[in-house]
Structure 1
């Protein structure tokens, strides 16, 4: 039986192998674990794409990104939080780009976390823009590393959902909602 193609992120599809579907569309795919998530942002596609394409903006809503240094028009150096207060880093290269439609990347050889992915931007008419992130990665330490990352809330599937939710808040409201107390206040109270 043939099923109609749906536009859900590959890992949420009800048909086929999710990991294969998620990495199928990636150029130079790197990574054995695949995740995908999507959000609809009530802003025009050109505005959403432009904000995301300026990589200096990404740490403003990507919680685990410590810094992104743009080294060239198509390359950048990423430093990201890892479990237990550590950081990991890699150089990334844009492998495909279509303005207002998609940005795809792959990590360069020697990355602490080999990864690749793509973010697509689809006009949803009066609803705004559907942003879909698909990421393939190799967690440090394999399966055990993935479990540890989940325990510390640093696993990419968890972070991608949270980051896109913060991106939506930032684009629609101009700010990201935060708890009434800061993380430092929680720590001082022993919570």
Structure 2
């Protein structure tokens, strides 16, 4: 028996047409706004030129990125093929080659490889010398897996610590292999593979139940953000990132000698006079600690204390915020003497805003761009320094 189900198409039609009408209307509004913006009679020409330059820049960046990806992918494919050949044909190496392979492998698993003597005879490896007890088993296993090694004879002496052992003195950090996805910076091939997985997860989430779908889409977004920025998650979120989540660097040349610039910036007093975002700066009597009040996003005041970590007279000042500050950061201001009495001023900041690099991106969208503000502050410092250098009889119109 066949049962026919009749749907109320009249009730479904408005629900199907309304979203389409909203989308079409919104697209029309956006298109009209774009036309008005680009073809404005006053500023339209400059805007079109800027948009054309940005488009050309993006195209060049995409082409360069594809070239880097193709080269990296090709190199990794050739490297993988060589590794496979090494596993199958590496056993034919002579004792001299095996000796060098063993020495290279020990450097990854032993903290003091100079304390180990390696002897190879008929593909039998003998290990003498001194090694720490917790490195013994891993090192022997690694040497045993080298192609061409028949047997490993570990005659070295194991020690619980380095006390009293001359060959185990001195600090040396072992460089163990780190998996690709656990490294700070991902290679182009790893980013391409992770981006492909992220897109696949997003498409797959539509077929899953709603709670699971939300979790999969969230993971896909996080992975896509990691791929796009090539930053570790702790720097993206600001969690456990310390003072380094975002790096900002800017520099400018000023037509003033180094000594004059140093006298302006060394006591911090000039910043509150020429930089509108700096409301107040107070230094402690010993000069090591300073209290700052600056204007943050939406005009909210931000207070923090900073201490100097390095001062080289006439060249550099470095500082960092004290513990417990809302926005932890470090910074350095460097002065470099240029030709014709000019000075290059470079400022490098690393800071951890709320929500890390994500918060930095949001701040840029709402107009609070720290990089742009830093560049504007350096321009104000340049104008102030060059104006102060003018002879008393000249007006402001001659300032550079």
TM-score normalised according to structure 1 size: 0.72
Secondary structure at the aligned position of 1:121 is classed as: strand
Q: Per-residue deviation at 1:125?
A: 2.6
What CA distance in whole angstroms lies between the structure 2 residues aligned with 1:80 and 1:159?
A: 12
Corresponding position: 1:63 with 2:276: yes
What CA distance in whole angstroms lies between the structure 1 residues aligned with 2:367 and 2:259?
A: 32
Q: Per-residue deviation at 1:113?
A: 1.0
Q: Per-residue deviation at 1:174?
A: 3.5
CA contact (8 A) 1:34 1:136 kept: yes
Q: Alpha carbon RMSD of aligned pairs, Å?
A: 2.1
Match of 2:260 in 1: 47
What CA distance in whole angstroms lies between the structure 2 residues aligned with 1:155 and 1:31?
A: 17
Match of 2:301 in 1: 87
- Change in 2 beyond 3 A, CA 1:77/1:150: same
- Change in 2 beyond 3 A, CA 1:66/1:109: same
What CA distance in whole angstroms lies between the structure 2 residues aligned with 1:60 and 1:97?
A: 23
TM-score normalised according to structure 2 size: 0.35
CA contact (8 A) 2:246 2:357 kept: no
Secondary structure at the aligned position of 1:140 is classed as: coil
What CA distance in whole angstroms lies between the structure 1 residues aligned with 2:281 and 2:252?
A: 23
Q: Per-residue deviation at 1:69?
A: 1.1
Q: Per-residue deviation at 1:143?
A: 3.6
Long gaps (5+) in structure 1: 1-16, 20-28, 176-191
Equivalent of 2:314, from 94, 100, 113? 100
Deviation string 1:119-178 (CA, Å, 9 cap, x unpaired) is: 000110315100000000011233443234224433321111000011001101239xxx
Equivalent of 2:374, from 160, 163, 185? 160
CA contact (8 A) 1:41 1:129 kept: yes
What CA distance in whole angstroms lies between the structure 1 residues aligned with 2:295 and 2:309?
A: 24
Say which structure is richer in strand. Answer: 1
Long gaps (5+) in structure 2: 1-184, 186-230, 232-241, 390-400
Q: Per-residue deviation at 1:104?
A: 0.3
Corresponding position: 1:121 with 2:335: yes
What CA distance in whole angstroms lies between the structure 2 residues aligned with 1:70 and 1:64?
A: 18
Match of 2:325 in 1: 111
Q: Per-residue deviation at 1:115?
A: 0.6
- Bigger radius of gyration, 1 or 2? 2
What CA distance in whole angstroms lies between the structure 2 residues aligned with 1:114 and 1:142?
A: 11
What CA distance in whole angstroms lies between the structure 2 residues aligned with 1:86 and 1:70?
A: 22
CA contact (8 A) 1:101 1:122 kept: yes
Secondary structure at the aligned position of 2:327 is classed as: coil
Q: Per-residue deviation at 1:74?
A: 1.2
